[in-house]
Amino acid sequence: MDLGNILPVTVGAILLAGLYATMSYGLGLIYGVMRIVNLSHAGIMMLAAYTTLMLYRSFGIEPYLAPVIVMPLFFVIGMGFQRLIVRRITGAAPIVSLLLLFSVWLIIQNAAYLIWSGNTQSILRPYTTRSFRIEALDLTIGWMRLGVFLAGVVTLIILQFFLTRTYLGKAIRATTQDRDSAKLVGIDVDRISMVAFGIGIALSALAGALFSMILPFNPDFGRVLMLKSFAVIVLGGLTSFVGIAVGALVLALAEEWAVGVFGMQTALKDLVSFSALVLVLILLPNGLPSLLGRMPVWRTKPARPTTAPTGGKAA
């Protein structure tokens, strides 16, 4: 046990939480509205990372500006994909959507291997390894990590605003809570699903574009990240963005503290998120919020995995 590390490890964990949250919003939104686990999430992130790389290499667009192009692009792709393919399996058994999106991942991955080969890529700009120091606390913080963290926070704020203040957002929330009732009050659930899916994919793409500046990537990128996203949304209780942010923070703190403070081998770090995934599903089906009690932002009726409708009857 090393208490001297608490401060730097905690700061590192908070920054990492920003990364975890950013990559989990899209997954959470799609799950909430459509009761579908997007198994192509990793593929989308990978594709966005390569798009960012291409934008930089071919057009000289600075990677930090890439989301401005990448997000609308993937929003449209996501909507089209939902309209043409995913809509067909709404309400089918869970395995159907899981496997369909898994097959999409396989196809994207294969296409990436063909186009970009399997070589590891990374984006290198003068600012990608720059950092600043806080001498008083003996802390060094990378600008990019801070940037991703801030992006995660800003995204959360915008999403919260969008969900509580706009008609579309309210409709999405209503659909998340109860699809049938939403239909009854005149919400065009099909259209809402399409838009939500588009936003979800755009959010995954945002994560991919941001990560391309921090992490090296290849067509197999995102496998472990996706599993961690599952853990994050499960921890967060599955349907709320604030829940996701909290879940990301808890997971990041657990991982980093286990290694940095309690002296666990780094090799076992991923075990923390895998066990968290399983244990929370079993012991806390509604995620951490059920521990904290009803938070004020938590207005939605949380979905209970044990009694919630299985995919088959979500429609």
* Contacts to another protein from residues 158-197, by CB under 8 A: none
Query: Which residue stretch of 51-59, 130-138, 242-250, 286-294 sits at the interface with another protein (rule: CB under 8 A)?
Result: 130-138
Query: By C-beta, is 69 or 214 nearer to another protein?
Result: 214
Give 186: exposed, middle or buried? Use CB within 10 Å, 0-12, 13-18, 19+.
Answer: exposed
Q: How many residues bind another protein (CB under 8 A)?
A: 93
SS3 call for 209: helix
Nearest-5° Cα angle at 165, 160 to 168: 90
Using CB under 8 A as the binding rule, whether residue 80 contacts another protein is answered as: no
Nearest-5° Cα angle at 224, 235 to 113: 145
10 Å Cβ neighbour count for 293?
7
Q: How many helices (H) and strands (E) does the chain have?
A: 13, 2
Shortest spacing between CB 254 and another protein, in angstroms: 11
Find out whether 39 and 169 touch, Cβ atoms under 8 Å.
no
Using CB under 8 A as the binding rule, whether residue 135 contacts another protein is answered as: no
Shortest spacing between CB 89 and another protein, in angstroms: 7
**Six-digit token string for 220:** 């197999």
Using CB under 8 A as the binding rule, whether residue 113 contacts another protein is answered as: yes
Shortest spacing between CB 8 and another protein, in angstroms: 5
Query: By C-beta, is 117 or 166 nearer to another protein?
Result: 117
Distances (CA, A) of 165 to 120, 160, 162, 168: 42, 8, 6, 9
Shortest spacing between CB 164 and another protein, in angstroms: 27
Q: Which of 68, 266, 299, 301 binds another protein (CB under 8 A)?
A: 266
Shortest spacing between CB 154 and another protein, in angstroms: 21
Shortest spacing between CB 242 and another protein, in angstroms: 21
Using CB under 8 A as the binding rule, whether residue 16 contacts another protein is answered as: yes
Residue 92: CB partners within 8 Å, gap ≥ 6? 311, 312
Task: Show contacts with another protein in window 200-239 (CB under 8 A).
Answer: 214-216, 218, 220, 223-225, 227-228, 230-231, 234
Q: Which of 57, 133, 191, 299 binds another protein (CB under 8 A)?
A: 133
- Per-residue x/- marks for another protein, 19-38, CB under 8 A? x---------------x-x-
Pick from 158, 170, 160, 178: nearest CA to 302? 178
